[in-house]
Amino acid sequence: MFECERRDVLKYTGLAVTAGTVTTGSVAAESTATAETDDWSSVRGDAGNSGSVQGTHGPEAPVAVDWAVDHGGQFAAVDGTIFLVADDGRVYAFDAADGALEWDTAITLADGTEPVDAVGSPMVADDTVYVTSTGERAAVTALDAASGERRWQNPDLGQATNRTPIVANGLVFVVADQKLYALDADTGEQRWQFDPEPMTLNDERERGDPLTRNAVAVANGTVYATSNNRLFARDAETGAKQWTDSVDDRTASTFSGRPIAVEEGVAIVKAGTVTVLDAETGDERATVATDSVDVLADDRLYAMTEDERTEDERIDGDDDERAIVAGYDWQTGNGTWQLFEHAVSFDALAVDAETVYAGFDARDETGVAAFDRDDGSRTWRLETDTAIRQVAVVDGTVYASGDGLFAIRGENTDESESTAESTDEVENTDESPNEDAESAVEEASDARTETDADDADETADGAPGLTVGTGLVGGVLSLAVLRRIADRSE
């Protein structure tokens, strides 16, 4: 693998319990902290799949692509590093500040066999990156976040995993071969497993209803997992039953999608309608008039759906195919706003304290758009020249992945920081004002030059991440990155 400086790159661009079987070892230790609230520790933000971080803000307009690497996949953003399970089956760590490669690794089984493909999303907790892999034996592997070296591996879970390990309460939760496993986060040893008992139908016959491969959700000491007909709430540390919810018509309706959980409740698509259940009792708290749920924030539920307005309700000139991002009060189910953005489809929502971010596909345009949380009005829109499959917001930056990984930042961020540094230099020196100002400008320029020189982009076969003719830097993306660098030099 080669590292390539950004300025060089740019030259070339154009337990036994009822209602289920739990097998347990010793109870897990006290809950260990996962990523901080302003980090994005998994593909959906946190252990609850909430898709929301309330302790941070994204970039303000105008925005541009600050750096990009030629690797797609799913990622987590924690402690200044982007951890990516790439489409080539390897795991990468990039410096969040400039995209420089910190390490990359291939997953191998402990018996020394050939490398296997890492798949799905990583999850990061306590300086450890947890990933799953495919092959003759599905495995969960824990990597050191600083070096990428293997800490432990459990290859004895079967074959089919849900590809998204969730880490909370000192445990790693993964569904494999239709069972829920809880592994010790420090050693990989199994602490308990849950295998749902068959359902009893109205005619007293029993029918199997195993767990689906959807990712589980963990919040406030409870782990939520789904089968086709049931939502299970189990104690995260022991696997003991808390409550179970089921559909009324077991032949015609099902649970679908991943559960999304916060401290007070859990949202799930039940029989084609979003239902919010009380976390403690499992009682229904609200239903929402949509068939998808993507983000559960402190006060709002956000969903991506299709435009269901009639022709009479549409404004003249509206495209018949428009996607909708909708916000709802999840305590009541009442809609707060619907955004009829010019896009065929949306994907990968993320929400911070003030803004909703979404990948969009408008036939001839693809990228990321930002909308005000209060009224749904668009605050900015940026093309990336590739369809976006995941969006995350961390500390003033939106990270997005499709066929590549992008860092989107405000165009004035670096200039503002440099101005503040220059001011500090002037106030803390005994030299003359003119000399101080000149020195501060030179030092700020040198610092910015050093930062640019450290930026690096990688590909799996060793070629630079941004190269001539690649779709990643074609068209608008090339212009966006070039404009970003040009603005810095002015």
The mean per-residue pLDDT over the stretch 348-374 comes to 91
Residue 23 burial (C-beta neighbours within 10 Å; 0-12, 13-18, 19+) = middle
What distance lies between CA 106 and its chain's CA centroid? 21
pLDDT at 422: 44
Whether the CB-CB separation of 84 and 73 falls below 8 Å is answered with yes
pLDDT value at position 323?
A: 78
The answer to whether the beta carbons of residues 399 and 408 sit under 8 Å apart is yes
Q: CA-CA distance, 209 to 19, in Å (whole number)?
A: 12
Task: Indicate if the pLDDT at residue 420 is higher than 90.
Answer: no
Q: Is 287 helix (H, G, I), strand (E, B) or coil?
A: strand
List 237's β-bridge partners, or say none: none
Q: Identify the band that residue 267 occupies on the pLDDT scale cut at 50, 70 and 90.
A: very high
Q: Which of 150-159, 249-258, 301-310 has the lowest mean pLDDT?
A: 301-310
151-189 burial: b if 16+ Cβ within 10 Å, else e: bbbbbebeeebbbbbbbbbbbbbbbbebbbbbbbbbebe
The H-assigned helical ranges of 290-432 are 413-427
- Average pLDDT estimate for 89-118: 90
Number of Cβ within 10 Å of residue 332's Cβ equals 13
- List C-alpha distances in Å: 345 to 315, 321, 387: 19, 8, 10
Residue 262 has what pLDDT? 93
* Count of Cβ atoms closer than 10 Å to residue 302 Cβ: 27
Cβ–Cβ < 8 Å for 69, 53: no
* Beta carbons of 382 and 368 less than 8 angstroms apart: yes
What the block records as the tokens of 467 is: 């190269």
Q: Distance between CA 75 and CA 40 in Å, rounded? A: 9
Q: What is the pLDDT of residue 311?
A: 57
Name the residue ranges covered by the structural domains of the chain: 82-195
Report yes or no: 478 and 468 within 8 Å, Cβ to Cβ. Answer: no
Lowest mean pLDDT among 131-135, 164-168, 448-452: 448-452
Q: How many CA atoms lie within 13 A of 17 on its CB side?
A: 22
Cβ neighbours around 73 below 10 Å, total: 26
The β-bridge relationship of strands 217-219 and 90-95 is unpaired
SS3 480: helix
DSSP state of 471: G
pLDDT of 482 above 90: no
Q: How many CA atoms lie within 13 A of 341 on its CB side?
A: 35
- The pLDDT value recorded for residue 356 is 94
| Residue tagged 């405000």 (tokens) | 410
Mean pLDDT of the chain: 77
**Mean pLDDT value of segment 387-392:** 94
Q: How far is the C-alpha of 265 from the C-alpha of 267, rounded, in Å? A: 7
Class of domain 82-195: mainly beta
Weakest-pLDDT range from 104-118, 267-281, 284-298, 391-405: 104-118
Quick one: pLDDT at residue 177? 85
Least confident of 202-211, 391-400, 429-438: 429-438
Nearest to 231 by CA among 277, 288, 272, 293: 277
pLDDT digits (tens, 9 = 90+) for 440-480: 334 433 443 333 333 333 333 333 333 323 333 344 344 44
* pLDDT category of residue 202 using cuts at 50, 70 and 90: low
- What is residue 322's predicted lDDT score, i.e. its pLDDT? 72
- Of 8, 12, 77, residue with least CA distance to 408: 77
Rounded to whole angstroms, the Cα distance separating 274 from 332 reads: 12
Instruction: Give the neighbor-by-neighbor strand order of the sheet with 273-278.
Output: 255-261, 265-270, 273-278, 284-288
Q: Which neighbouring-strand residues pair with 83?
A: 76, 93
Mind giving me the DSSP string for 137-163?
S-EEEEEETTT--EEEEE--S-S-B-S
Lowest mean pLDDT among 147-156, 289-298, 390-399, 416-425: 416-425
Q: What's the pLDDT at 181? A: 94
Cβ(332)–Cβ(286) below 8 Å: yes
More confident residue, 198 or 444: 198
Residue-level pLDDT at 462: 35
- 155 pLDDT band, cuts 50/70/90, is confident
Report residue 438's pLDDT band, with 50, 70 and 90 as the boundaries: very low
Q: Can you tell me which residue has the tokens 């493909």?
A: 117
Percent of the chain at pLDDT exceeding 90: 49
Q: Which comes out higher in pLDDT, residue 240 or 336?
A: 240
Largest CA distance in the chain: 92
- Is the pLDDT at 96 greater than 70? The verdict is yes
Distance between CA atoms of residues 141 and 131, nearest Å: 5
272 versus 445: which is more confidently predicted?
A: 272
pLDDT in tens, 20-43: 555 554 443 333 333 345 799 999
180 strand-pairing partners: 175, 194
Residue 486 backbone phi and psi in degrees, to 5: -60, -40
Distance CA 46, CA 359 (A): 19
Determine the pLDDT at residue 313. 54
Closest CA to 132 of 101, 167, 170, 100: 167
**pLDDT confidence of residue 178:** 87
Q: Quote the tokens at residue 2.
A: 């080669």
- Paired tokens of 317: 């000139």
Check pLDDT > 70 for residue 64. Answer: yes
pLDDT at 289: 85
pLDDT of amino acid 315 = 54
Residue 100 has pLDDT above 80, yes or no: yes
Of 294, 222, 316, 188, the closest CA to residue 31 belongs to: 222
| Rounded mean pLDDT, 121-144 | 90
